[in-house]
Amino acid sequence: MSRGTTKRAKKKSVAANPQRANPLWGGRFASGPDALMEQVNASISFDKALAAQDLAQSRAHCSMLVKTGILSRKDGHAILRGLDAVEREIAAGTFPYTPALEDIHMHVEARLAELIGEAAGRLHTARSRNDQVATDFRLWVRDAIDRIEAALGRLQGVLVERADEHAGTILPGLTHLQPAQPVTFGHHLLAYFEMFDRDRGRMRDCRARLNESPLGAAALAGTTYPIDRRNTAKALGFARPMENSMDAVSARDFALEFLAACSIAAVHLSRLGEELVLWASPRFRYVRLSDAFSTGSSIMPQKRNPDAAELVRAKAGPIIGSLTSLLITMKGLPLTYSKDMQEDKVPTFAAAEQLELCVQVMTGMIADLAVDKAAMRTATSEGFLTATDLADWLVQQLDMPFREAHGVVGRIVRLAEQKSVGLEDLSLADLKLIEPRITSDAQRALSVDVAIARRSSYGGTAPKLVRAAIQRARARLKAQR
């Protein structure tokens, strides 16, 4: 016999050992799984994160079985005591995990059997791992939404407070990263308040849609036992049981919707992170990040790097990737459950963890950000920020069509460039060279302060509107608590 044949024979004999068959589903199998099969099949390395949710739904299921008479009170009490013991072991870090038991559900059931004996085997009556994991996962995502939504609310609170400090602080507003029109820094910060408010809304919408209980759908077709699904749904805080048993065990759109909401929030955080990187650069010098959220260089002692903002910007990539990963996993799956769906948790867990961290980091950066008002104000002298205001004056005072006014001001800007001065530095004679009807009143329109104050349409950047928006934002935050 060749050496390779000997190895294969040994491997086969190990796999054929009936003692290695899984105790929870091994009755159908004469032998246990190959070591590689165990490795690829096991999910306990990541789904032990569902332990709290699995214990909660097991308690709800057990109580319902007792209430409906499917399970005796004696066995029910034993199971609940055993689940309490398992919870204590997990909390203490003494709970025994092994890849041979695949997932958290089998771990809990196996340990329960060791603790209370035969009664443990009755807990799985009228339940499948399919509806069990679907329930656990919905509970986990619901908890993650609550944490992230609350964290976003704290970030909004910090943005509002900083906006209040800078309701009248003027800086250039940009389009195409070019100077466009003057805005207030408070107004700029409130733009992100609105983005994060929509992110919170998406999280709440997702929570409302996922808040239906799959428990009791069993493997895919329901169960023959007289269970009370409304009872378990209520016990777990769900609004109702899911209507269709096949949908209950196979739906993962709640996770997709959650990851989509996470991805959009990550993009908003990334955009703010990018602005902090720009603002903290020597070219802008608008802000200074605190030492708590900056790093240095191993070779250049003068360096002060905005690494926290850069990492918030970078982490949007993996979060978006998590959504793409699960979309691709789900796109070709027939109803109902397939083992592919085991891979739903890793991207979801990772995205939630990273997003929550990014929100917390951004909250810290904004809270102790040092703002250089003088640098912002100085920057408004570049880029002819009040050109549109001069065009508006021509329309309003000379009844000039806006497109014609646009052309007139364009020629005035060209003259200012030739003279290497700002619009406000041009003399009245200079302005009249382009448009003879211009009066000295037009020069007032070229003031940045006047331009800011006149932006008084609803949602505009005028300081009085910004302060009113801050009050409305505070009221919204209070209502959402």
Catalytic residues: 176, 297
Contact 383, 172 (CB under 8 A): yes
Spatial separation of the C-alpha atoms in residues 212 and 248, rounded to whole Å: 9
Helix or strand run (H / E) with residue 287: strand 287-288
Secondary structure E strands in 43-190 = 170-175, 178-184
Identify residue 413 by its one-letter amino acid code.
V
Cβ–Cβ contacts within 10 Å for residue 8, how many?
12
Cβ–Cβ contacts within 10 Å for residue 265, how many?
27
Cβ–Cβ contacts within 10 Å for residue 394, how many?
23
Contact 130, 217 (CB under 8 A): yes
Spatial separation of the C-alpha atoms in residues 78 and 67, rounded to whole Å: 15
Contact 104, 47 (CB under 8 A): yes
- Residue corresponding to tokens 């070019």: 178
- Residue corresponding to tokens 């608008």: 286
Contact 477, 193 (CB under 8 A): no
- Residue corresponding to tokens 């802008």: 284
What Rg, from alpha-carbon coordinates, does the chain have? 32
Q: Cis peptide before 336, with omega less than 30 degrees from 0?
A: yes
Spatial separation of the C-alpha atoms in residues 26 and 20, rounded to whole Å: 9
Tokens encoding 47? 């789904």
- Residue corresponding to tokens 């329109």: 445
Tokens encoding 12? 């086969």
Distances (CA, A) of 368 to 162, 189, 212: 9, 14, 41
